[in-house]
Amino acid sequence: MSALLATPGVASGGKIGVSRFYQPELDALRFFAFFGVFVFHAAPRTMGFYASAGAPRWLGNLSIATFGSGAYGVDLFFALSAYLITSLLLRERASLGAVDLRGFYARRILRIWPLYLAFVAFAGLAALVIPEQVLPLRYIAGYCLLAGNWVYVFHGLPASFAIPLWTVSIEEQFYLLWPLALRRVQPGSVATMAIAMLVFANLLRISLALAGAPVDAMEYNTFTRLDPIALGVLMALFGHRLPQFSRWQRVALLCGGVVSWIATYAFSVGNNPPSQSTVRLAAGHAVTAVASAAILLSVLGSQNRFVRHGWLLYLGKIS
């Protein structure tokens, strides 16, 4: 996400202006987060498919867990967005003494809303002409109000290709509220807020699991998905204090994160998603949030030519 960042700089004519904050390696990471989610939706994740292809059971289980773990690209998106937005806002506040809310919201609206609302309209029209697509008005209203995930919590998923839009709702809720919070609190309180978010998300998931809540009430609840957002905020606050990782340390972080994703999917979902339990999901979300933070750390600040390749950066920007 490239954007004007309020960092002191000398503009033309000798006036103090803002310099450009851009970390290209994060565009590459954004593409891989998108690709993971795409694979999750596109790849076969039933044992019957692999059995019919003659694959041994262990290979079928491994394939299901590997492809299914792409769903945690959502957690990576959340951590990445929180890191970038927090970095932008804190630097702007430190440089100019305040957060330009109007400018921030204008940039987010222009970047996201036109395509997002066009897709909502397209999904609604598709539901009128394609029998297999069912998208009641309450879902369309939820999407338009940036609260589609909450409709899922109370009414379940629609039979529509618009299902993934719940992630946009959570991100937009974060974009709406986080700048207001950062505008009012002291910088030293931001870490406390992030830690409180981590604690609250885990306690809420445990409470829902013990209460026997349905899976949707945990999976699509904004407050149960705060872990990666909180970790992204903490990385924005303290990431610059970390030592420079070596190549092998970065590889270890990346592999550890990906393996944790795969193991978590195998543990919490497996090859029979309808049987997944909120108890396993409660534990799984905590692990995948930390794993996503590790993946983000593995790329953050990297000078590797691969993650800065032009075509990969382009794919990341359009993702």
> What is the dihedral angle through the alpha carbons of 67, 147, 98, 317, rounded to the nearest 10 degrees?
40
pLDDT of residue 271: 53
Place of tokens 């970095």: 87
At 278, is the pLDDT very low, low, confident or very high (cuts 50, 70, 90)? confident
Reported confidence tier of residue 273, pLDDT bands at 50, 70, 90: low
What span, in angstroms and rounded, lies between the C-alpha atoms of 105 and 146?
Answer: 14
The pLDDT, as a whole number, for residue 244 is 86
Percent of the chain scored above 70 by pLDDT?
91
CA quadruple 115, 116, 121, 127: dihedral sign? positive
User: 193 vs 44, 130, 223, 231, 287, CA distance in Å?
Assistant: 40, 46, 14, 11, 20
Quick check: 150 pLDDT over 80? yes
Residue 16 is predicted with a pLDDT of 41
CB 6 within 8 Å of CB 22: no
Backbone angles phi, psi at 19, to 5 degrees: -100, 170
- Residue 171 tokens, joined: 């991100």
The three state secondary structure string of 179-213 is: HHHHHHCCHHHHHHHHHHHHHHHHHHHHHHHHCCC
In this prediction, residue 309 carries a pLDDT of 78
Mean pLDDT of 23-49: 90
Q: Given a cut of 50, is residue 126 above it in pLDDT?
A: yes
pLDDT of residue 270: 63
HSE of 164 in the Cβ direction (CA atoms, 13 Å)?
16
- Say if residue 114's pLDDT is above 50: yes
- Round to whole Å and give the CA distance between 224 and 212: 15
Name residue 220's amino acid.
Answer: Y
Q: Count the Cβ atoms, other than its own, within 10 Å of residue 37.
A: 20
Hey, CA dihedral for 33, 39, 45, 51, is it positive or negative?
Answer: negative
Alpha-carbon span 277 to 189, nearest angstrom? 35
Dihedral over alpha carbons 260, 262, 268, 274 (to 10 degrees)? 160
Query: Do residues 178 and 85 touch, judged by C-beta distance below 8 A?
Result: yes
Residue 22's pLDDT is 73
Element (H, E) at 231: helix 227-238
Q: Are 285 and 222 in contact, with CB atoms under 8 Å apart?
A: no
